[in-house]
Structure 1
Amino acid sequence: MPTISRTIAAAVVGFAVGAGAVGGGFYTYDHLNPSAAGQTAPNIHQYATVASAPATLPLGPDTISNVVQRVSPAVVKIVATVPQQVNINSSPFFNPFFGSLFGGNLLPQTQIQTDIGTGFFFNPAGYILTNDHVIQGASKIQVYVKGYSQPFTATVVGTDYQTDLAVIKINAPKPMPSLVLGNSNTTPVGAWVIAIGNPYDLNDTVTVGVISAKGRPLTIGSRNYTNLLQTSAAINPGNSGGPLLNLAGQVVGINTAVSTQGQGIGFAIPTSTVDQILPQLMKYGHVSRPWLGVFITTDNASMKSQYNLPTASGVVIAYVEPNSPAAQAGLSAGEVITAVNGQTVSSANQLQTMVERQSVGSQITLTVNDQGHIFTKTVTLAQEPNGPITMPSPSP
């Protein structure tokens, strides 16, 4: 049904089932299926020190400086070497400002880009928490630790594109100072926080502000964050991956992004997300999430008459990711999913939740309506890809 497929794809905002995506971006899960990996989920207490309650400290003129002095040895500078493919014109008459006067071929060449970020030890054995985007695509990761003249070469333990978290490790010559993970859920709006990092390669920069808001959504490229802490503590390029601390020196967030449209608007991943993601990165190297591989509409009822759909119940498939479980099962754009394992589906969120409750490798039975022809498909859910998944623009 090419006509329906094209018009639906052009009209809808995709909801990628199993990819945790809303609007073609990514959703930071507030809950992960404990059996998603087919085993008992690892616990954060196995890998990091977690505060049982915020410590009470007397406030005074030296409070912030005392916290900084105490936690700074655990904060590190990360330098990632990222090779990038670029096309260079082979013509000797090529001018980079005006192009080639006499043609010439474009030859792929590798250029080296150096990215600077921040991280911190959360485990004395040399384990460091940072952002996935700090080390993404890196061929070499160097970590600068206070008290050592030469950087350490780090290896990647685990990454999660969706939540933008990563764990790397150095071969520590001795137990490293490590930070305590605090509770972002109990950190109120208006609470004082401290950010430490390396903005613009200005090492060990300290900024102070408050938690301005919680649960903020933010889209950066192909990432869609939905549960960020907003802070007035200055955050700039190079701060990414560094700790956002309360006045007890406990980490309540991972500094991640800054708004380029205003001042004093920074964002951090809350430790409530870290608590769920970090154990899986440590144990499996990735987060196990079941994946169906379809983008679906969020409002089928209003589209029924507009696009002559067969039913107002269920959700419409707008796009099927190639080589996904849905594609292997023969699902197509324009078809309507009306039930999962016999349970009626009435919304995109409901279908997403049904998939999340399954485990990787499990089978589900979908009831599908294709222009009035009702049939079932058995789909084996796969591991969600650890990278961007987007719906392509529809062809004219």
Structure 2
Amino acid sequence: MNRVRFRQGWRMLLFVLFLMGAFLAGAAIRSGGSRPGQLLQAPERMSVPTEPLSVADDTMSLHPYATISAVAERVGPTVVGIATRQRAYDWFYGAVEQGGVGSGVIFDPAGYILTNDHVVAGAGSIVVTLADGRQLAAEVVGTDPGMDLAVVRIRAKDLTPAIFGDSDRLRVGELAVAIGNPLGLEFQRSVTAGIISALGRTIQTDDGKILENLIQTDAPINPGNSGGPLVNAKGEVVGINSAKAQAAEGMGFSIPISQVRPIVEEILAYGRVRRPWLGIYAAEINREISAYFNLSQKEGVIALDVYNGSPAGTAGVKPGDVITHIGSTRIGTLREFTSAVSRLKVGVKTKLSLKRDSRSLTLTIVPTTQSDG
């Protein structure tokens, strides 16, 4: 009898110890501290950005909300609100003044701001609102309506520029953060987050423009966000928000920063964009083209014709040549050809690799603008 009671008492003691251990473990999980399992730990306040955020640790993979918070704090001071006024004609009221709002991002401490062309197009006056509340008049430095990009400038000191990243290294599924002024300046520097949904998208805007090679994201982009930055987990600008699908939710589009860079350089240097031109009438190889030119290749990009006196003609390109590389960029589709040409610099030599009668050739070509050709 005593032995039975002893066994029951021992089991009771083990049960009590088990409950105490579980309670203490639960308290330890709920308490503070920087353990890997704590996903929502807020970051400390950051100073003015001088370099990208480090994601060498587990910040991006295990602390998604902390990453978004850090990115917003880093990039927020570089984002501006843009308000425009312009005169328009109304059949009933005659000349009236209309207003518009958008976003922009400071990319140079001298006061240069990147935005969309449709934000400032036709504006009679432009006022930029900074993160610290200052409101300053801005002037247009140059625009590229075809790419829906514009550069404006303000005269101010103590400006925080954004850091440009490399959109060519983006991967579908990685973090995307959009910052801008949806629905007007009363909601300025709103932060939305999502992922990179797709790359290389082509859309037609409401005014008929065809925009190619865009970044698609599900980070909400609303009216007023236009011209604001799309940012990666390092706090680097990888795109300029430009449009959203009206018939669907969660489909916004940004212009890749790799396409923006050469346009900005052209605008700053010349006040306009000089389009590089080679003088090649190119097409993707199909069955008929392959048969006509007696090609061994069944796919790729071919020079159907070459303009007389053009850079391609001067370099020695001939109809029937299959274009395999522009510089170090492999060419397999017409879109890749167009994209590679758009990144060339006017007046700067580049290599053009071809296939002609099963022989490989490399020519040196100097792009011009079409008016120069």
Whether the aligned pair in 2 keeps the contact of 1:154 and 1:170 (CA below 8 Å) is yes
1:200 aligned to which of 180, 183, 201: 183
2:132 partner amino acid: G
> Comparing both chains, which one has the higher relative contact order based on Cα–Cα distances under 8 Å and sequence gaps of 6 or more?
1
1:69 aligned to which of 73, 77, 84: 73
Gaps of 5+ in 2: 1-48, 289-302, 322-333, 348-368
Match runs of 1:166-181 below 5 Å: 166-172=150-156, 174-181=157-164
What does the per-residue CA deviation read over 1:236-269, in whole Å, with 9 as the maximum and x for residues that have no partner?
A: 1100000111122111111110001111000001
- Alignment-derived partner of residue 288 in structure 1: 274
- Alignment-derived partner of residue 172 in structure 2: 189
Deviation of 1:230 after TM superposition, in Å, equals 0.2
Deviation of 1:185 after TM superposition, in Å, equals 1.1
Deviation of 1:290 after TM superposition, in Å, equals 5.6
- SS of residue paired to 2:253: strand
- How many residues align structurally? 270
Whether the aligned pair in 2 keeps the contact of 1:246 and 1:252 (CA below 8 Å) is yes
- Alignment-derived partner of residue 56 in structure 1: 56
**216 and 55 in structure 1: CA distance in 2 versus 1, 3 angstrom threshold:** same
Cα distance in 2 between the residues matched to 1:287 and 1:188: 29
Find out whether 1:224 has 2:204 as its counterpart: no
- SS of residue paired to 1:146: coil
- Alignment-derived partner of residue 382 in structure 1: 371
Cα distance in 2 between the residues matched to 1:243 and 1:215: 18
Whether the aligned pair in 2 keeps the contact of 1:288 and 1:383 (CA below 8 Å) is no
What does the per-residue CA deviation read over 1:342-379, in whole Å, with 9 as the maximum and x for residues that have no partner?
A: 754469x69989x988959xxxxxxxxxxxxxxxxxxx
- SS of residue paired to 2:118: helix
Find out whether 1:129 has 2:118 as its counterpart: no
CA-based RMSD of the aligned residues comes to: 4.0
- Alignment-derived partner of residue 372 in structure 1: none
Whether the aligned pair in 2 keeps the contact of 1:214 and 1:229 (CA below 8 Å) is yes
Deviation of 1:285 after TM superposition, in Å, equals 1.2
**80 and 345 in structure 1: CA distance in 2 versus 1, 3 angstrom threshold:** farther
- Percent identity between the two aligned chains: 39
Deviation of 1:206 after TM superposition, in Å, equals 1.1
Find out whether 1:263 has 2:249 as its counterpart: yes
Cα distance in 1 between the residues matched to 2:150 and 2:372: 18
TM-score by length of 1: 0.58
TM-score by length of 2: 0.61
Gaps of 5+ in 1: 1-48, 90-108, 303-312, 318-325, 327-338, 361-379, 385-396
Cα distance in 2 between the residues matched to 1:234 and 1:255: 10
Cα distance in 2 between the residues matched to 1:298 and 1:54: 42
2:249 partner amino acid: Q
- Alignment-derived partner of residue 148 in structure 2: 164
Find out whether 1:147 has 2:132 as its counterpart: yes
Bigger Cα Rg: 2
What does the per-residue CA deviation read over 1:147-181, in whole Å, with 9 as the maximum and x for residues that have no partner?
A: 235x2000111211121111111110x22011100
What does the per-residue CA deviation read over 1:64-103, in whole Å, with 9 as the maximum and x for residues that have no partner?
A: 12221222111100011122234449xxxxxxxxxxxxxx
Whether the aligned pair in 2 keeps the contact of 1:229 and 1:270 (CA below 8 Å) is yes
More helix by share: 2
